[in-house]
Amino acid sequence: MKKKMEKAFNKQVNAELYSSYLYLSMESYFQSVSLTGFAKWMRGQVQEEMFHGIKIYDYIHERGGRAQFDAIDKPVSEWNSPLVAFEHILAHEQNVTELINDLIDVSLDVRDHAAKAFLDWFIIEQVEEESTVGEIVDRLRLIGDDSSGLFLLDSELGKRVFTLPAK
């Protein structure tokens, strides 16, 4: 793997680990306001983002590179409402999509077609992430100040079970 590609993948590993850290912070927030279903949903996100980071880490090594780690920034830990938290998530996932797009640009620039093929999985994943979070944002907007609607959504989100995707 060319060094430019390796460096870009290492940057993405760090971004995925930050995402996991952010979602863990959100899980703590939701636990603190007794929205345990939201918290459980966040735990699934933590696991998913760790999986993404490790998937890229493993790919770097498969291609003869070496994973390097940077410091992970401290995530935000307070939100004014579940809606504000999920709007933050949506903006974050849109940023991650841009990071993946940037990685693809690097793969095309250095003519690394194997990397491009590997990254196609992440593009599909990001479409799903943005769609799922966008739907939750829409539902939270519809709920507004209706606490019964919030608790119903909390119950629904609490049913999420993270399943490790096939590599």
In tens, the pLDDT along 63-105 reads 999 999 999 999 999 999 999 999 999 999 999 999 999 999 9
How many Cβ atoms from other residues are within 10 Å of residue 119's Cβ?
A: 21
Residue 47 burial by Cβ neighbours in a 10 Å radius (0-12, 13-18, 19+): middle
Please state the pTM of the whole predicted model: 0.92
Give the residue extent of every domain in the chain. 3-157
At 7-40, the pLDDT tens digits run 999 999 999 999 999 999 999 999 999 999 999 9
Residues 8 and 116: beta-carbon distance below 8 Å: no
**CATH homologous superfamily, domain 3-157:** Ferritin, core subunit, four-helix bundle (1.20.1260.10)
Instruction: Look at the alpha carbons of 69, 119, 90, 28 in this order and tell me if their dihedral is positive or negative.
Output: negative
What is the C-alpha to C-alpha distance for residues 55 and 33, in angstroms, rounded to an integer?
Answer: 33
Q: Using pLDDT thresholds of 50, 70 and 90, give the confidence band for residue 167.
A: low
Type of residue at 22: L
